[in-house]
Amino acid sequence: MIELIGVRKKLGGRWVLDDVDLQVAAGECVVVTGDSGAGKSTLLRLVAGLETPDEGTVRLRGLDVQGVPPHGRALAFQFQDSALWPHLTLVENVAFSGDGATGRAMEFLVRAGLRELAGRRPASVSGGEARRAALARALAARRDVLLLDEPLTQLQPAARKEMAAWIQEELKVTRAACLWVAHDLEEAAILAPRVFVLAGGRLTERARV
């Protein structure tokens, strides 16, 4: 469903991705971890079409997506900085990327623990609340390709555990191919059976314990 073949990307004079190969099947969740600046977000942006590889191929659903713009890739992306529309309320943000139904958007906000904040705009909520709203927006889209950029960052431990369980529940429903970037290695190991470490531009699968 998601496939990278020999992908290379240079930023700031260095190869942040160097001959990267990765496959994520439908219904599978793969976690990529690594230090800050290792290129994890760049990896997601290449899949989403927000960056272009200098070399190599990105395939979605078996098709080469070179030249296909982000809106044509039919995927859901939860950005590290949340990237909520500032002029929309939280419920409007979630409805915008889903089926447009406010009622269904509210269901996802309630599941994210944001019922009381549904009518607020992003600037008036905390970083953790914005992160949960962004996750609700991505999950509400119900796409078969899901990209998550550190969705549990800024959350308290209890909320982190609850949101991780929610993501896993949604993946069982959608059977999406999920590529999940996480900063913490131990947390990543709990989230998915396949964990990769990105360092020096190379992607290495972590041995299962």
Question: What is the C-alpha to C-alpha distance for residues 146 and 134, in angstroms, rounded to an integer?
Answer: 13
- Structure token digits, residue 206: 């972590």
Mean pLDDT of the 46-55 span = 96
Res. 152: pLDDT tops 90: no
Amino acid making up residue 3: E
> What is the structure's pLDDT at 98?
65
pLDDT, one tens digit per residue, over 79-132 is 988 889 999 999 999 998 766 667 789 999 999 999 999 999 999 999 999 999
- Strands ordered across the beta sheet of 2-11: 14-24, 2-11, 55-60, 63-64
